[in-house]
Amino acid sequence: MKQFGWIALSSLMSALIALTLYHFFGPRQEVIVRETVMPIKQPYGDILSTMEEGRGISSPSPWASGTPSHFIVAAERVITSVVNIKAENRHWLRRYHGGISSGSGVIISADGYVVTNNHVVEEADNFEITLNDKREFNAKLIGVDPSTDLALLKIDAEGLPHIVFGNSDSVRVGEWVLAVGNPFNLESTVTAGIVSAKGRNIDILEGEYSIESFIQTDAAVNPGNSGGALVNTRGDLIGINTAIITRSGRYEGYSFAVPSNLAHKVVRDLRDFGRVQRGVLGVGIEELTNQLVQELGMSSSEGVFVNRVTSEGGAYKAGMRRGDVIIKVNGHKVRSMPELQEMVARYRPGNKLAVEYLRDGKLEKAQVILQDAYAASPQADSEEESFLRTLGFELRDLSEEEIKVVGKAGVYVVSIYRFSTIEETRMEPGYIITHVNNKRVKTRMEAIKLLLEAGAEIVLDGYYEGYSDTYAYSFRP
């Protein structure tokens, strides 16, 4: 028994001696304690910077990660501004027991203006809007623009929560965005993604003046999201969700939105005039191909090739010709056709644009006055134009071809301002004025002169193309 005790004591002493020797002479071991609070910087950032210095290798960023800002604040700001829209064609409904479509919309003013897509409301004659707080309103259609697939509605309400327009030009590829809408009638749905590309043309809009310069994202957008908001992480509106590319009919990672800068101009025009005031440069354009770049001796494919210049158009009068390559508008680079179309679409007829272009390798500059896409001449600012705006309409001369068709000269009413003196007469765009206070007019300037001299009361006589009757409108300026 004594022998066993001595053996145990000897073993214990040996172990103690071994631990003592290891403590003094063994390798050091670092103990890491993981904090419950995430560190702001990587603990090894400065060490690696020192190690890699002078080796031509970029050291890792000292910041913990590139995680996005949380989306809670942005979502809370936007949700109350996004509405559900039910559009129906009551005539079609009565006949075929259908004709109802739904989508989303965005409140853009406290007094009830709502922007959505044209394809949400087209061919409908009755519109019902449901707010986030479940209130329901009947809406009035203010105007549509098929060229951008946008429409403007108005509900009779005050003090509504509304969204703030952001600057879509400042949006960058890779930036986080939120899509807010009502997919499949699921109210106030928020999805997140990044900006995948800008200036996308997917060839879905028809018409000579269609404008496709979409913001592409991978935020989930499904049927019912059309007309909803695309916002940045601050909750600012940067686009109106419009379309998806899909084989299944459901979201597959490609969604497209009309940029907010373009949407802002379109809805202002719809509010003020009932239609978009579309200014045009007066040129035909196409993308620069590699072959064109080589033929023109250019070092870059950035820019847009001018393949046609309209005779007597704004670009022609400013000195531009076929073969020019537009590279800047108002100081902003032009890289593609959609970009140029979007830039020009933000301005109205009569606005002057600074255009920079290449001709035979030399930089040229021009000041181009935009023409009305639906008119024969530019609408420059003047005393006469101010007077016409005060009355509430825009006029132009009939072209020679139009005079041949209708059989007589006159002055064409291009557009009518909302809530104006002319609108109160119930005149419609397309009216052709032949007399002002019983005096014959054949040109726009003749009509303006007589309007200015008319005095206390004005009577307009004229007709609408395709109708044999004449119509008279009277008002006090």
Catalytic residues: 119, 149, 226
In angstroms, the CA 101 to CA 226 distance is: 11
Buried-state track 356-371, b at ≥16 Cβ within 10 A, e below 16: bbbeeeeebebebbbb
Across 305-322, b (16+ Cβ under 10 Å) vs e yields bbeebeeebbbbbbbbee
- CB 241, CB 227: distance < 8 Å: yes
CA dihedral defined by 262, 267, 269, 271, rounded to 10 degrees? Answer: -170
What Rg, from alpha-carbon coordinates, does the chain have?
Answer: 33
Which residues sit opposite 313 in a β-bridge? none
Residue 86, both tokens: 């039910």
3-state DSSP assignment of residue 48 = helix
Count how many Cα atoms sit within 13 Å of the Cα of residue 196 in the half-sphere of its side chain.
14
Q: How far apart are CA 149 and CA 203, in angstroms?
A: 12
3 state SS of 123: coil
DSSP E strands: which ranges in 113-188? Answer: 113-117, 126-130, 136-145, 150-155, 176-181
- Separation of alpha carbons 138 and 143, rounded Å: 16
Q: In 3D, which of 413, 294, 315, 403 has the Cα closest to residue 365?
A: 315
